[in-house]
């Protein structure tokens, strides 16, 4: 699964690739983004052009009666996207990209859970495959998202058996393109191993309220 991420530098190279302004409005470094908090994302606007927006992490399907369902939908398994009603509309019409420069996974050794920070070489920014939806009731609207996961590749599996989908920029553009059919979009969802690195961090990151550079500090 993917239960935490980071975005502590403005992802200029990613934004420029999508011909977006190089700075996020009101951007503040985040080292420990947790479910129910906002994720910076790229999604298509009404004119089908890429646009930056903030989405609450934990997808609430438009048809849901109770918005608390979002707390159980922070991740979507790639293997079931085409068969589960919760994802069916979003995978066709509301694909998005979650901006990040790292994410955390926990290895379980006995009864101990040990956090690891995953990132690309030189801590370059990247995007994660996501879906979003809008929930509206009685004049209130909430835009939410989920991060898609797959079976981990060899590097990721050393820590956890699943991992979020990290896209190359070419795959990211194809995922976001509204002309990309569902069957092709699903083919893009696979483990990313190129330049993926990880190291152990302290359990300081376990507490969502902790959001500082200490979260990504390497344990000696």
- The 10s digit of each residue's pLDDT in 96-145 is 999 999 999 999 988 899 999 999 998 999 999 999 999 998 888 999 99
Q: Which of 2, 96, 145, 215 is catalytic?
A: 2
The model's pTM is 0.96
Q: Which of 96, 105, 145, 215 is catalytic?
A: 105
215 labelled catalytic: no
214 labelled catalytic: no
CATH class in words for 4-216: alpha beta
pLDDT value, residue 84: 86
Q: In sequence order, what DSSP letters do the residues of the chain get, joined into one string?
A: ---EEEE-S--HHHHHHTT--SS-TT---EEEE-TTSEEEEEEE-TTS-EEEEEEEES---TT-S-GGGGGG-SEEEGGGTTT-HHHHHHHHH-EEEEEESEEEEEEEETTEEEEEEEEEGGG--EEEEEEEEEEEETTEEEEEEEEEEEE--HHHHTT-SEEE-EEPHHHHHHHH-TTS-HHHHHHT-----TTEEEEEB-GGGGSTT--SGGGGPBP-
């Amino acid at each position: 699964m993917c239960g935490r991420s980071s975005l502590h530098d403005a992802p200029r190279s990613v934004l420029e690739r999508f011909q977006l302004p190089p700075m996020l409005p009101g951007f503040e470094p985040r080292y420990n983004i947790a479910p129910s908090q906002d994720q910076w994302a790229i999604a298509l606007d009404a004119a089908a052009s890429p646009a930056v927006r903030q989405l609450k992490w934990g997808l609430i399907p438009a048809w849901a009666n109770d918005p608390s369902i979002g707390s159980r939908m922070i991740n979507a398994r790639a293997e079931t996207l085409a068969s589960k009603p919760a994802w069916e509309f979003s995978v066709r019409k509301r694909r998005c990209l979650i901006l990040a420069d790292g994410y955390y996974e926990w290895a379980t050794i006995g009864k101990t859970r040990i956090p690891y920070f995953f990132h690309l070489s030189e801590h370059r920014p990247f995007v994660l495959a996501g879906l979003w939806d809008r929930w509206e009731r009685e004049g209130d609207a909430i835009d939410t998202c989920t991060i898609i996961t797959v079976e981990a590749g060899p590097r990721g599996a050393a820590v956890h058996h699943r991992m979020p989908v990290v896209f190359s920029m070419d795959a990211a553009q194809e995922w976001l393109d509204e002309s990309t059919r569902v069957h092709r979009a699903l083919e893009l969802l696979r483990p990313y191993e190129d330049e993926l690195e990880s190291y152990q961090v302290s359990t300081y990151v376990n507490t969502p309220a902790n959001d500082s550079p200490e979260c990504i500090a390497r344990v000696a």
